[in-house]
A = this chain, B = another copy of it.
Amino acid sequence: MSGPPDEFAWIARGLAPLAEGAPEAFGLTDDAAAIPSRPGFDLIVSKDAVVEGVHFLPGDPPELVARKLLRVNLSDLAAKGADPYGYFLAVAWPPAYGWPEREAFAGGLAEDQARFGLRLFGGDTVATPGPLTASLTILGWTPAGRMMRRAGARPGDVILVSGTIGDGYLGLLSAKGLLAGNSYIGADWLADRYRLPQPRLGLGGALRNHAHTAMDVSDGLIADAAKLAAASGVGLEIDLDQMPLSGPAAAWLARAADRTTALVGLATGGDDYEIVCAASPEDAPALLAAAADAGIALAPVGKATGGAGVRVTVGGREVAIARTGYVHT
């Protein structure tokens, strides 16, 4: 079929298959979805938007854009201790995105919704003279009253992060070709980490049973730790020497002109989509063990105090952070 796709044809051919098996969605032939009551559970809802040239690079493959959009929303569910359920999608398509690009976008969604166990429930598809813009509203479930909050860290708590920090930052540099001069192994792996976050959905039970608070690291570890500190009414001390790093990030750090500046870059770059959480020192071993059972490494990076804000140290010395995280402007 040539020419820009008609909205209704696109919904029927591209999107309706993503709603198969979801009675909530009425095959995308109605104006709304109907979510039945699930007594004993809370419906957890988050909504994130992405814009071409701001949140992803022009020319990024549409299937990866779709998968990243779904995954950044899934990362919010993971941090809240919620199990994925379904999603609503709104896409504003520029004229240059025809059938092949839209089918690639739908294909990316199909792949990841099968992987993570959720279905499309509805949404909207419109035209735009501007850049590709999409928003996704994700739904998940937690037992009633058990959503993990940002508020809840207590003085004395251990602060932990999942996976590794800084790969998203280096991945963006790599995707932009700014690591090209460095021929070490890992530049492609890092770019993939930037383009395709790994939502830590396996952590839900561990967090709900053993942690006081959790949020996902999207704007940078330091910026998001500051939000967690503010919401909890505590101070946080983060030791960048304890920050878990991937092999490629460690290799990059080893070659950096200034180690402290480089560590701060990794801790403020954003796009990690890892989980930062807090647990009492007594509960931390059980949290680590439960996370390990789910195949996810947690590493302690600091502690909560009776103060306010975030104090960052390298080599035991406090480091002043001029810019705490990435702001998309």
Task: Determine whether the beta carbon of B327 is less than 8 Å from that of A92.
Answer: no
Alpha-carbon distance A46/B29, docked complex (angstroms)? 12
The stretch from A35-43, A59-67, A277-285, A300-308 touching chain B is: A35-43
A124 touches B135 (CB 8 A): yes
Give complex CA distance A147, B23 in Å: 13
Please name the residue on chain B nearest to A29 by beta carbon. B231
Q: How far is the CA of A41 from the CA of B34 in the complex (A)?
A: 10
* From B4, B26, B126, contact of A51 by CB (8 A): B126
**Complex interface bits, A39-75 against B, C-beta within 8 A gives 1, otherwise 0:** 1111111111111011100000000000000000000
Task: Enumerate chain B residues within 8 angstroms of A76, measured Cβ to Cβ.
Answer: 31-32
How many residues from A make CB contacts under 8 Å with B? 67
Question: Cβ of A137 and Cβ of B43 under 8 Å apart?
Answer: no
In the assembled complex, which residues on chain B have CB atoms less than 8 Å from the CB atom of A51?
Answer: 92, 126-130, 133
Q: Write out, one digit per residue, whether chain A residues 127-150 have a CB within 8 A of any chain B CB (1) or not (0).
A: 111110101010000101001011
Give the chain B neighbours of A137 by CB distance below 8 A: 45, 47, 88, 137
Selected contact of A34 from candidates B30, B33, B147, CB within 8 Å: B147
Chain B residues within 8 Å of A45, by CB: 32-35, 88, 121-122, 137
How far, in Å, is A319 (CB) from chain B's closest CB?
Answer: 22
Asked if B216 and A31 sit within 8 Å, CB to CB, the answer is yes
Contact B54 A126 (CB under 8 A): yes
In the complex, the answer to whether B34 meets A92 with C-beta atoms within 8 Å is no
Q: Cβ of A234 < 8 Å from any Cβ of B?
A: no
Residue pair A126, B32 in contact (C-beta under 8 Å) = no
